[in-house]
Amino acid sequence: MGLTVGRFVLPHVETRLMLTDHRSDGGTVDQPDGPADTVGYYASNTLATVERRRAEGRVNLYGAPGVVTVGGAVERETEQGVDQYFSSYGNSTDQLDVKRLNAAGYAELQGTPLRAVAVHAGVRLDRSDTFGTFLTYRGGAVYHLPAGLSLRAMLGTGFKEPTFYQNFATGYVRGNPALKPEHSLSWEVGLDQTLAAGRARLGATFFDQRFRDLIDYTGAPPSSSDPNYFNIAAATARGLEVSAQASPVRGLDLRAGYTLLRTRVTSAGFDPGPGALLVQDSALLRRPAHAGFAELHAHALGRADFTVSARYVGPRADLDYAGYPPQRVTLPAYATVGAGAAIALVRAAERRTTLTVRVDNLFDTAYEEILHFPARGRTVWLGARAVF
């Protein structure tokens, strides 16, 4: 559930308050593979309830050069769960009841200090009662040249906090309360060219990402009382994105894009074997080297929108955990097609009621994004939206 309210307290000062509450209940059942599956850890059951409650407030200051945003947020995360393990060494039960409180403050600028230059800069300070204080930043600029050519550049940092399980697991697997977040440093440069009086656009972007403090699991910690998760690995991801967009006639838009991606583990995890998660100089799992999409959008009769799209994902590495030790395999490429429509039933000056229908995987293609976990087949989504 979410609630957002906003108000202009002055002609150029806007305040906004956002409240969200999220709860998920789930679990897994891993039954024995058969009557003879009684060696080692052969079965498990898990149940978990995760709650996230968040409050965020911000102030937007509108001026001639752009918009300045200042805000802060507080988030409380809790998880309660129970895990049951069945093995030839004896059965065990682990319980988890933990919480984490995070607070953050940030400032952001979006504007055009010069006529041909647009800038975006932001800084954020996060404080967690689990993993400490971290500062991240992001900045970019676009320079508009004559004849419809634009140059752009961006630099930024980020982090991904450890999961509750990685921090607080007990029993056979021990979490590490001293884990640091996984960190990233990213930069990109690109150009865009507008053609045909703005009816077409071509773009290309080169990007580079570097990840450090990646968390990996070890089944043989330094001592029996040590945790199983540590910040140990590092990796890179770099590549090229190209895109094209065109509006050949009024009411018809075409878009297409392609991504070439190369990933590499630059600092290995604990296990050097081929079935490990982070093997030196290997590719990161489930990152395709080639991916692309194409989309057609049409607006007809003044109140209907139709969309047809296609997506391609190339081969990518994964791990097969069906046997021990796990083996590195290649997931095959796949392509899917989708279609959708939105029809405005009521379209007045201040009122609008729209019905939507979307079909994903229109031709019911069988594929796996994760090995042994089939993705959804043909899926139909129905929706409605009313504005009063």
pLDDT of 218-246, one tens digit each?
988 888 889 999 999 999 999 999 999 99
**Residue 83 binned pLDDT confidence (cut-offs 50, 70, 90):** confident
Residue whose entry in the numeric block shows the structure tokens 């409650």: 53
Residue 67 has pLDDT above 80, yes or no: yes
Closest CA to 317 of 258, 277, 260: 277
Query: Could you write out the DSSP letters of every residue in 194-205?
Result: EEGGGTEEEEEE
Closest CA to 99 of 126, 127, 80: 80
**Mean pLDDT, the chain, as a whole number?**
93
For the purposes of burial, counting CB atoms within 10 Å of the CB of 162, is it exposed (0-12), middle (13-18) or buried (19 or more)?
buried
* Span 273-296, average pLDDT: 92
* Span 266-295, average pLDDT: 92
The alpha carbon dihedral of 169, 172, 178, 180 has a sign of: negative
pLDDT tens-place string over residues 21-46: 999 999 999 999 889 888 888 899 99
pLDDT at site 348:
62
Please answer whether residues 212 and 225 qualify as being in contact, where contact means their C-beta atoms are separated by less than 8 angstroms.
no
- Compute the half-sphere exposure of residue 106: CA atoms within 13 Å on the CB side of its CA: 21
Question: CA gyration radius for the chain?
Answer: 25
Structure tokens at 149: 């050519």
* pTM of the predicted structure, to 2 decimals: 0.85
Provide the b/e sequence for 81-90 (b: ≥16 CB within 10 Å). Answer: bebebbeeee
16 CB neighbour count, 10 Å cutoff: 15
pLDDT tens-place string over residues 321-362: 888 788 999 999 999 999 999 998 876 666 678 899 999 999
Tell me which of 142-156, 264-278, 356-370 is least confident: 264-278
350 CB neighbour count, 10 Å cutoff: 6
d(CA 153, CA 207): 10
Contacts of 357 (CB under 8 A, 6+ apart): 340, 341, 380, 381, 382, 383
Contacts of 284 (CB under 8 A, 6+ apart): 235, 237, 263, 264, 265, 317
Distances (CA, A) of 63 to 7, 16, 66, 256: 17, 17, 5, 36
Please answer whether residues 106 and 122 qualify as being in contact, where contact means their C-beta atoms are separated by less than 8 angstroms.
yes
3-class DSSP string for 275-320: CCCCCCCCCCCCCCCEEEEEEEEEEECCCEEEEEEEEEECCEEEEE
pLDDT tens-place string over residues 162-203: 988 899 888 778 899 999 999 999 999 999 999 988 899 999
